[in-house]
Amino acid sequence: ASLYKIDKWGAPYFSVNSSGNISVRPHGPATLAHQEIDLMKIVRKVSDPKSTGGLGLQLPLIVRLPDVLKNRLESLQAAFDFAVQSQGYEAHYQGVYPVKCNQDRFVVEDIVRFGTPFRFGLEAGSKPELLLAMSCLCKGNPDALLICNGFKDSEYISLALFARKLALNTVIVLEQEEELDLVIDLSKRLSVRPVIGVRAKLRTKHSGHFGSTSGEKGKFGLTTTQILRVVRKLQQVDMLDCLQLLHFHIGSQIPSTALLADGVGEAAQIYCELVRLGAHMQVIDIGGGLGIDYDGSKSSESELSVGYSLEEYASAVVQAVRLVCDRRSIKHPVICSESGRAIVSHHSVLIFEAVSASAHESPSMPSLGWPYIVEGLPDDARADYRNLYAAAIKGEYESCLLYADQLKQRCIDQFKEGSLGMEQLAAVDGLCDFLSKAIGAADPARTYHVNLSVFTSVPDFWGIDQLFPIVPIHRLDQRPSAKGILSDLTCDSDGKIDKFIGGESSLPLHELEGGGRYYLGMFLGGAYEEALGGVHNLFGGPSVVRVSQSDGPHSFAVTRAVPGPSCGDVLRVMQHEPELMFETLKHRAEECEDGNSMAATAALASSLARSFHNMPYLVCIPNCACLLAE
């Protein structure tokens, strides 16, 4: 377990149990021993149709853990409540969840439900997100904020005004100056008094990858001049009282409390200026950016980590706002944050299988056999072989590799000219491989083929090189004897994971055992990955189960199980019509019936129907081969 640093990035939710499997501690530090959930038990229950109550779901699988979600939400609220109380802050914290991080219906509904006692709201950044936020908040606390961010047209703004008519605590945050005219005009036409916010473009800049949209030249928000023009225009139309919220977003994964305090302090000054200019300011919305510790280093130097705890984050925010407001004798505002990553990352685990691994190649065993190599060499290469051998014996490894490379290139040229046969080329390849392995120049990492699409399930690895902890979820009581990279099912060379937490270029992995399965988990991927994933090669999303801690006979209950999209479903996404496609193919089978019996044609048709109905992923036979669905 220490090999994978599970105690570093996984605490307090993930640990290794006495069976060598990963256990979930659903209530974080408050979890009792009997409440721990063994991930392997979940996999067995949901994937094996023969186990009691087994669901026969196909992998890959996302396991959602609502208890973890609840714990994250409560921990965030508790951290701010503590900071507010201990610093004598005279207003409260009231967060919102930015639905873009994971728009899954049950994730959003859980957050609204768990957050109701403390007025937790939602943030939307587009019209469909606003529609979903409106309908979810109807069931929540009426004071919960509904923050409308993102670029807006008149339809978006009308929808937000309509939400106010439904008594939802909606704030239209101006992302561009031009939105103001629409808000003024539409609110008059619809007879709704809007609550308006402005998004400020701060000078404070977060220089890491996740902060590329921050700073003076950032993509979003209003400059100081634009904010002043907004104030003036609202004053002219007698609507300055509608301006009540100041929003900013420094960037995701804010590395340190120093940068955070700098940004929040700058924003608090703007807030105080808006009060001075006559706006009826109530809320400072500090955006997202509360980071999480993907690599377990707890360091602000690593892009995959942050140098603070939840408590330190909350304390830095409250202190920065308080200091500025006290200095300017301004009433403390309600503090809102739009933390996404920090709320949803931990609650979901992606589980997938390694289905085969490239053979372990030992230098003493060339794959084609030693005699074959020596006999197969072209005549003019035999002299090279003797020189190479002599150099290797003398330990002149660098020259040896150089000669080998030259020999190989010469033989490739001869093959292209047609003067060398395939057997001879293979013999030269074999010789060069053998030499580089014998000398230790070759990378010993093996390739583990995984039943997964990186493009669908880990898009940020492909897109922005983001790393996530990936760990076998069982056999952690056995020392892994191999090192591997993970290669996915797509026919795309980018469809592989070859960088791992800690800067490693391979992952310690176990040998695949005959008759056994090998399950890996990707952790901390609950934010962004599902929403960003595409359908490259028409691999759709994984199956999803929702698993709650239960005090019944098992420590858990599967409260929802949804198979991943079928081949038919993903074809439909690209405008194909699976029903028509099936009919066309069935018709063709009937036309080709010829020598086949009617029964054979019917069997073919039902097999085709199953192919449309099954998921695009491989149906795996334990560690030997992957076969298509029967």
Least distance CB 78 / ligand PLP (angstroms): 18
Q: Please report, in angstroms and rounded to a whole number, the separation of the first and last CA atoms in the chain.
A: 38
Q: Which is nearer to ligand PLP, 317 or 351 (CB)?
A: 317
Interface residues for ligand PLP in 190-209 (CB under 6 A)?
Answer: none
Tell me the window of 184-192, 284-292, 428-436, 596-604 that interacts with ligand PLP (CB under 6 A). 284-292
Q: Does 211 bind ligand PLP (CB under 6 A)?
A: no
Q: Token digits for 95?
A: 């967060």
Site string for ligand PLP, 408-447 (x = CB under 6 A): ----------------------------------------
Write the Ramachandran bin of 62: left for phi over 0, alpha for psi from -120 to 50, otherwise beta.
Answer: beta
DSSP 513: P
In the block, which residue shows the tokens 């609202």? 234
Least distance CB 516 / ligand PLP (angstroms): 38
Site string for ligand PLP, 242-281 (x = CB under 6 A): -------x--x-----------------------------
Q: Does 164 bind ligand PLP (CB under 6 A)?
A: no
CB-based contact 38:556 (threshold 8 Å): no
**Nearest residue (beta carbon) to ligand PLP:** 288
Q: Does 290 bind ligand PLP (CB under 6 A)?
A: yes
What does the alpha-carbon distance between residue 226 and residue 175 come to, in Å, rounded to a whole number?
11
DSSP 486: E
Instruction: List helix spans (H) across 98-256.
Output: 105-115, 127-137, 154-165, 179-189, 224-236
Q: Which is nearer to ligand PLP, 339 or 348 (CB)?
A: 339
φ, ψ dihedrals at 181, nearest 5°: -60, -40
CB-based contact 388:403 (threshold 8 Å): yes
Sign of CA dihedral 587, 592, 597, 600: negative
Residues in contact with 493: Cβ distance below 8 Å, sequence separation at least 6, in sequence order: none
What does the alpha-carbon distance between residue 80 and residue 111 come to, in Å, rounded to a whole number?
17
Interface residues for ligand PLP in 91-150 (CB under 6 A)?
Answer: 98, 101, 149
Site string for ligand PLP, 494-533 (x = CB under 6 A): ---------------------------------x------
Q: Which is nearer to ligand PLP, 70 or 249 (CB)?
A: 249
- Grouping H, G, I as helix, E, B as strand and the rest as coil, residue 78 is helix
Least distance CB 101 / ligand PLP (angstroms): 5
Q: Which is nearer to ligand PLP, 119 or 206 (CB)?
A: 206
Q: Which is nearer to ligand PLP, 101 or 497 (CB)?
A: 101
Q: Does 287 bind ligand PLP (CB under 6 A)?
A: yes
Residue count, binding to ligand PLP (CB under 6 A): 15
State yes or no: is 138 an active-site residue. Answer: no
CA 538 to chain centre: 19
Least distance CB 175 / ligand PLP (angstroms): 9
CB-based contact 120:77 (threshold 8 Å): yes
What does the alpha-carbon distance between residue 72 and residue 310 come to, in Å, rounded to a whole number?
10
DSSP 33: G
Q: Which is nearer to ligand PLP, 101 or 589 (CB)?
A: 101
Which residue among 208, 288, 472, 533 contacts ligand PLP (CB under 6 A)?
Answer: 288
How do 243-247 and 196-199 pair as beta strands? parallel
Please give the radius of gyration of the chain, using alpha carbons only, rounded to the nearest integer.
30
Interface residues for ligand PLP in 339-398 (CB under 6 A)?
Answer: 339-342
Least distance CB 343 / ligand PLP (angstroms): 8
Q: Which is nearer to ligand PLP, 17 or 102 (CB)?
A: 102
Q: Which is nearer to ligand PLP, 73 or 342 (CB)?
A: 342
Least distance CB 589 / ligand PLP (angstroms): 50
Angle in degrees, CA 82, 88, 91, rounded to 5: 80
Site string for ligand PLP, 325-344 (x = CB under 6 A): -------------xxxxx--
Q: Which of 204, 321, 215 is nearest to 269 (CA)?
A: 321
Q: Which of 377, 378, 400, 396 is nearest to 388 (CA)?
A: 400
Q: Does 37 bind ligand PLP (CB under 6 A)?
A: no
Least distance CB 253 / ligand PLP (angstroms): 6
What does the alpha-carbon distance between residue 350 and residue 364 come to, in Å, rounded to a whole number?
39
Q: Which of 207, 371, 436, 433 is nearest to 303 (CA)?
A: 207
Burial (CB < 10 A; 0-12, 13-18, 19+), residue 445, is middle
DSSP 118: G
Q: Which is nearer to ligand PLP, 260 or 320 (CB)?
A: 260
Least distance CB 506 / ligand PLP (angstroms): 30
Site string for ligand PLP, 566-595 (x = CB under 6 A): ------------------------------
Catalytic residue among 272, 336, 400, 491: 491
Interface residues for ligand PLP in 61-90 (CB under 6 A)?
Answer: none
Residues known to be catalytic: 491
The residue ranges that bind ligand PLP (CB under 6 A) are 98, 101, 149, 249, 252, 287-290, 338-342, 527
